Amino acid sequence: MAPISYGLPLYQLLAEEEVERIHQASMRILSEFGIAFYDEESRSILKKHGAKVQGDMVMLEPGLVSEYLAKAPCQFTQLARNPRNNLVIGGNAMVFAPVYGPPYVLDLEQGRREARLADFINFVKLTYMSPYLHHSGGTVVEPTDEPVSTRHLDMVFSHIKYSDKAFMGSVTSAENAADTVAMAELVFGTEVIRQQPAVISLINVSSPRRFDDRMLGAIKVYARARQALIITPFILAGAMGPTTIAGTVAQQNAEALAGIVFTQMIEPGTPVVYGSFLTNIDLQSGSPVFGSPESQLGLYASAQLARRYRLPFRGGGMFSSSKIPDAQAGYESVMVMLPTVLARTNFVLHAAGWLENGLVSGYEKFVLDCEILGMLHTWAKGLDLSDDSLALEAIAEVQPGGHHLGTEHTMRHFRTAFYRAGLFDYDSAEKWQEDGAHDTYSRAHRKVKELLASYEPPPIDQSLEEGLRDFMTRRKEAIPLAVS
């Protein structure tokens, strides 16, 4: 299914002057307090283009920020192995991608355990099979049974082999980024991906106010190859940001802009996305809290800032702090996901599968989240106000106290009328009891098994697959095994 093309009104939390107030605070952070870039070459690039550099710290004046922000495209197209899955990132498009990063997986039968490459492949397959996930994502789980130094090769290969949707690149080092680009070149061609990016990669800012050398290494490789980047400060208000949301958003904004400006200094026109990953900590335990009302406020404000700079926006997702897909997980996930849609987020990472503060990819949570994504596709179509939809003839036809079940209008609409969440239970209590009184977790577990059993891979050119395998073999031989 095509990504949502969001034509409905946006929810605008802030007035224009309020957005401006945050912008001005961020400009002070950038020009007076500065952002640390822990890489000498990066600092010299920044300096060469007009930034003020003192030690590790880089200061950017508002004029310089505006100048380089203006070079970034407001939208771009990411290539997919199947061209029908090419994706517009930006504008009215809303692209959904699965959870990113968890070292653990959970399912009802085997419980919580370290993720393996087999789990990684499973999540790529489940993503491929969902009509509501448009993007294959990146580190859908950490394949902890593969060596740290080479697992990026297995991940990129698995995305290409088991799916034909667009995918994300490795950011763990400059070398791994270069491997990702090389594999994308094998799939799409060296010149082709310079015209339109084939890889999009997630650069986390090590908040507060710090880019580390690994992330900067990856930025440089991808920007020079004109591959897309999502610059995302990772901020929990109360820990890496102030204990107030406005300050946290201002800091996030400064950090994201610093990274985005840097990409445009390396290579003007590099496709780049303004990223937000912002919630608060629980001030009793120090743990992150997902689904909080504060994170919703931050999300709307962040989206408005991204729009102010005419940049594609990444944020939100189906976040939860719960350990299992229970009621808490359901409540929390929608508490963030609905605002994600109403803010017209262009790239939604973690749109399915997230549990336990992002430590766990949940198999059942994944397929349940997909039901909500399906509902959101329906929601985004808005209210049809055509004559046929207003249905005055049908209303006149049905007498007071009668019903619409047999009208010609109902017959005409009933196949396509309403979205149906296959995993949600709409039976009577009696029927539900008879069928075993399964809760949602248990129904979803059965669905996961069915899906994985029925997976059929997308066709892949034999010589392409061999080329990719050869590349992996050579690289695995060349890369020294780090202690994992």
Q: Which of residues 10-39 bind a copy of itself (CB under 8 A)?
A: 11-14, 18, 21-22, 25, 28-29, 32-33, 35-36
H or E segment and range at residue 465: helix 462-478
d(CA 391, CA 137): 42
Residue closer to a copy of itself, measured from CB, 117 or 423: 423
d(CA 318, CA 337): 6
Q: How far is the CB of 234 from a copy of itself (least distance, A)?
A: 12
Q: How far is the CB of 484 from a copy of itself (least distance, A)?
A: 21
Q: What would the DSSP string read from start to end of 215-235?
A: HHHHHHHHHHTT-EEEEEEEE
CA 428 to chain CA centroid, Å, is 37
Residue closer to a copy of itself, measured from CB, 138 or 208: 208
Sheet holding 354-355, edge to edge: 111-114, 104-107, 360-362, 354-355
172 touches 214 (CB < 8 A): yes
Q: How far is the CB of 47 from a copy of itself (least distance, A)?
A: 18
For the segment 76-115, give every residue that binds a copy of itself (CB under 8 A).
Answer: 112
Residue closer to a copy of itself, measured from CB, 113 or 469: 113
* E-only strand ranges, 182-227: 199-205, 210-211
Residue closer to a copy of itself, measured from CB, 108 or 472: 108
Using the rule CB under 8 A, is 334 a contact of a copy of itself?
Answer: yes
Using the rule CB under 8 A, is 208 a contact of a copy of itself?
Answer: yes
Q: Which of 54, 84, 110, 284 binds a copy of itself (CB under 8 A)?
A: 284
Binding-site size, a copy of itself (CB under 8 A)? 127
For the segment 131-190, give every residue that binds a copy of itself (CB under 8 A).
Answer: none
Q: Which of 407, 447, 468, 471 binds a copy of itself (CB under 8 A)?
A: 407
Q: Which of 131, 190, 331, 469 binds a copy of itself (CB under 8 A)?
A: 331
For the segment 373-392, give every residue that binds a copy of itself (CB under 8 A).
Answer: 375-376, 378-379, 382-386, 388-392
Residues 6+ apart with CB under 8 A from 155: 120, 138, 139, 143, 170
Mutual angle of helices 363-379 and 117-129, in 10-degree steps: 20
Residue closer to a copy of itself, measured from CB, 31 or 158: 31
Q: What's the number of CA atoms in the CB half-sphere (13 Å) around residue 382?
A: 11
Q: Which amino acid, residue 207?
A: S
Which span sits near a copy of itself by CB under 8 A: 62-70, 143-151, 165-173, 333-341? Answer: 333-341
For the segment 216-275, give every residue that binds a copy of itself (CB under 8 A).
Answer: 237-247, 249-251
H or E segment and range at residue 335: helix 327-342
